[in-house]
Amino acid sequence: QSPAAITVVGLGPMGQAMVHSLLAAGHPVTVWNRTASRADEVVAAGAQLADSPAKAVAASDLVILSLTDYQAMYDVLDSATSELSGRTVVNLSSESPDGTRRGAEWVASHGAHFLTGGVMVPAPMVGTPDAYVYVSGPADVLAPHQDALARVGSVRYLGEDPGLAQLMYQANLDIFLTSLSSLLHAVALLETGGIKPSAALPELMQTLAGIPPMLAAGEDLGAQLEAGQHPGHLSTVTMMGATADHLVEASEAAGIDADLPRAVQAHYSWARSRGYGAENWSRIIDAIRPYV
C-alpha cells in the first residue's frame, strides 16, 4: 500500500520540517501557507502548493496544521469548512488546553475528526529518532494515521481528552521557558560582576545539566509528592529559602529585574510561614497547588 496523501497547513520552520520528513517517507504532500512564498522550498522538494485552504483540505484525508495558535486554525479553515466533513484534522499548534477543547468542538461541528498534538523537538530534529509528539483525542481516529504522524515524531498518546496533549505540552514548556529565562537572568547577574556571557554560560550549563542527576540521586520525588510527605535533611525549606532570599537581594543590589527570583522566594516564604522549614524543599509544591 503506497503512503497516503497528506496536507500540511502552516509552513513555519516546523511545518516545513514536517513536509520534508513526510516527502522523504514517500507521502504525496499538499501544502498551503498564508504567505505563499514560504512554500518555495518544500515545493522544490516535491510538495504540491494548493491555491486555497479549501483545495488544500480537499487534497487529503489527513490534514496537519502547524500554526502559531488555534486562532490561526479558525482564520485559515473558515473558508474551507465545506471540505472538512469526514477528514481527520491533526492540530500540532500551541494552545491552552481549554482552547484545544473548544477547537475540537469546532472541528467536530463541521463533521471532521480531530486530534491535538504538541511536538517536543525543534524543527531540525523533526522526523529524527529523537523526535516525539504528545497526542490526544479518540484512539480510533489516531490508529489509521499513527504511522504517518510518526514521520513527525514518535507518538506518545495521552488519552481521549483533546486538552491533554496541550496540557502535557504546556507543562513541558513550563520547564523550558522558565529555565531559559532563569539562565539569562543568571547571565545578567554575572555580567554585573564583570563575568562575560561566554564565560558564564559553561558554569551555568553545568548546573542546568546537573539537575536531573541531582533529583535522581536524592529522595523519590514522585513518591513524596504523591504521598504529601516531604522528609529530608539535605535540602530543607529553611536552607533553600535562605538562598532564595539571597538571590533576591543579589538581584536587587545588582539592579537587574528581580521578579523571577521573587516568585521563587514566595514559594519558600509560604512554606516557612506554615512551619515547614525542616522539611524537604519539595514541600513548596503546596504553595503552587490550588487546593491548599
Q: Could you list the residues that contact ligand NDP (CB under 6 A)?
A: 10-15, 33-35, 38, 66-68, 72, 75-76, 93-94, 119, 122-123
Helix (H) or strand (E) holding 113: strand 113-119
Output 35 or 206, the one with its CB closest to ligand NDP: 35
> Rg of the chain over CA atoms, in angstroms?
23
Q: How far is the CB of 53 from ligand NDP (least distance, A)?
A: 9
Output 117 or 261, the one with its CB closest to ligand NDP: 117
Query: d(Cα 6, Cα 22) in Å, to the nearest integer?
Result: 8
Output 11 or 148, the one with its CB closest to ligand NDP: 11
Query: d(Cα 250, Cα 150) in Å, to the nearest integer?
Result: 47
Q: How far is the CB of 72 from ligand NDP (least distance, A)?
A: 3
Q: How far is the CB of 84 from ligand NDP (least distance, A)?
A: 16
Output 44 or 217, the one with its CB closest to ligand NDP: 44
Output 13 or 197, the one with its CB closest to ligand NDP: 13
DSSP string, 146-178: HHHHTTTSEEEEEES-TTHHHHHHHHHHHHHHH
- Sequence-distant (≥ 6) Cβ neighbours of residue 170 within 8 angstroms: 94, 96, 97, 118
Query: d(Cα 180, Cα 166) in Å, to the nearest integer?
Result: 20
Contact 91, 103 (CB under 8 A): yes
Q: Which residue is nearest to ligand NDP (CB)?
A: 12
Query: d(Cα 187, Cα 195) in Å, to the nearest integer?
Result: 8
Contact 107, 89 (CB under 8 A): yes
Output 72 or 204, the one with its CB closest to ligand NDP: 72
Output 170 or 235, the one with its CB closest to ligand NDP: 170
Q: How far is the CB of 17 from ligand NDP (least distance, A)?
A: 8
Query: d(Cα 243, Cα 150) in Å, to the nearest integer?
Result: 44
Q: How far is the CB of 130 from ligand NDP (least distance, A)?
A: 13
Contact 103, 130 (CB under 8 A): no
Q: How far is the CB of 73 from ligand NDP (least distance, A)?
A: 8
Q: How far is the CB of 38 from ligand NDP (least distance, A)?
A: 5
